[in-house]
Amino acid sequence: MTTRFTDPVRFTDPVRTVIPHTLARHLADACDDSVEGHTWSARNIAAARAIWAEDTAGAVPAALGRHTSRTEPDARGWTVLALPARMDDATLMRVAAAALSTLGAPFTSIDAGTGLWIGGETRPDADAASFGGTGAQGLHIDAPNVEHVPDYTALLVLRPDPAGGGASLIGDLRAALAETPECDRELLRRPVYFEGRADRLSGVGAPRLPFPILEHLDPGGRERVRWAAKAVTDPRNSAHRAVLKRFDATLARHTRAVALGRGQLMVCDQTRIAHGRTALGEQSGLADGTRRVLMQTKVAYDASAPAHNLHTAAGDRRG
C-alpha cells in the first residue's frame, strides 16, 4: 500500500437515494437470507423485484439505473443508497440485497459460510491494508484476477468508524484511462500482471494469473481495467512497475472519498469504478463491539433486472 491516501483526499457528499422505512420493511418481510449455491435465492430475487415493480415512486431502481446501469453510457458508475439506520443489522442486509437485485443477482464470491454477505467488525490485529484491517486500502476492483470479474461490488456500512476514519474511496477508471496514452495502454493490455491469489472463490470462473490490466469487454468497444493498487508493489510485477506507477498516479487525480454512515450502501460498477478506503482513525481505547463494521457482497449483471429497463428515470434527478 502506498501512503498517498493518508494525505488529505477530496471528499464528495453525493445525493443518497433514500429507501423509506415502510418500503424497506415490506422488502425485508418478503425476503429471507437463503442462498442457492453462492447466489441469493431465485425466490428472494423474484420477491424483491415484485415489490420494486409496485413501487410507484421508483426512486431506487431509477437511481441505480441512472448511475450504474450499463445502458446509460454516461452513468458515473457508482451510487449510494440510504437504508433506514434504525433497522437491525440482519434486516439492513436483507433490504440491501433486495435493492441490489434491481441490478442483477446478488452473490458472494468468497464463501465464508456466512451466506450472501461477508465482513464484520474491524480487527486491530488484521493486516492493516486488508478487508477488516485498520489501515488505508489502495484503489482496486474486487477479484481482478479471475475469468469473470464481478460486475458490481457493494459495501454496506453497519457501523462507521467511531474514530472518524474509514471513508470509502472512489476512483474513476474510465477518466484515468482517457488520460492514458496509447503506448501505456498497449503495455497494460499485455497478460503479464499479478495481484493477490484467487483461491476458493465462487461464481467468478477460473483464476487468471497473470492477467492483462486492460482488456476489451466487447470487440472494439468498452474496455475494463483490472486495477488493484497492490499490483504496483507486487514483486511479481517488478519488470512493469513504471507503467503501473503512471496509471496509479493518473487514477489518483480522479479519486474522491465518501463518508458512509450506518445503513448506507455504496454500489460500484466494476467496469468503471475502483474503490478503496482511507485509514481508520486512532483505534486504541476502542472496545470490541464498538469498531467499524462493514459488509460486502457482489452482483452479477442481469439484463432483465428492473434498473436496466427503465425508459424514463423517475424519482430524484439531482444525483
Ligand X SMILES: O=C(O)CCC(=O)C(=O)O
User: Residue 303: CB partners within 8 Å, gap ≥ 6?
Assistant: none
DSSP designation for 207: B
Binder to ligand X among 76, 240, 254, 277 (CB under 6 A)?
A: 277
Measured from the CB atom, the residue of 142 and 151 that comes closer to ligand X is 142
Measured from the CB atom, the residue of 172 and 184 that comes closer to Fe ion is 172
**Residues forming a β-bridge with 40:** 35
What track of x and - describes contact with ligand X for positions 167 through 196 (by CB under 6 A)?
-x----------------------------
Name the residue with the smallest CB distance to Fe ion.
Answer: 142
Decide which of ligand X, Fe ion, none touches 301; Cβ closer than 5 to 8 Å per partner kind. none
Answer yes or no whether residue 161 interacts with ligand X by CB under 6 A: no
Measured from the CB atom, the residue of 20 and 281 that comes closer to ligand X is 281
Size of interface with ligand X, in residues (CB under 6 A) = 8
Coil, strand, or helix at residue 51? helix
Answer yes or no whether residue 142 interacts with ligand X by CB under 6 A: yes
Answer yes or no whether residue 131 interacts with ligand X by CB under 6 A: yes
Instruction: Please give the residues from 62 up to 121 whose contact with Fe ion meets the rule CB under 5 A.
Output: none
Distances 165 to 1, 10, 121, 141, 212 between C-alpha atoms, Å: 17, 14, 14, 21, 33
Residue 297: alpha-carbon gap to chain centroid? 8
Instruction: Please give the residues from 223 up to 252 whose contact with Fe ion meets the rule CB under 5 A.
Output: none
Nearest by Cα to 168 from 273, 20, 291: 273
Identify whether the C-beta of residue 139 lies closer than 8 Å to the C-beta of residue 275: yes
Nearest by Cα to 7 from 284, 195, 255, 285: 255
What track of x and - describes contact with Fe ion for positions 134 through 163 (by CB under 5 A)?
--------x---------------------
Q: ∠ CA(167), CA(172), CA(150), 5° rounding?
A: 85
Decide which of Fe ion, ligand X, none touches 151; Cβ closer than 5 to 8 Å per partner kind. none
Q: Give the other-Cβ count within 10 Å of 210's Cβ.
A: 15
Interacting residue ranges for ligand X, rule: CB under 6 A: 131, 137, 142, 155, 168, 275, 277, 294
Interacting residue ranges for Fe ion, rule: CB under 5 A: 142
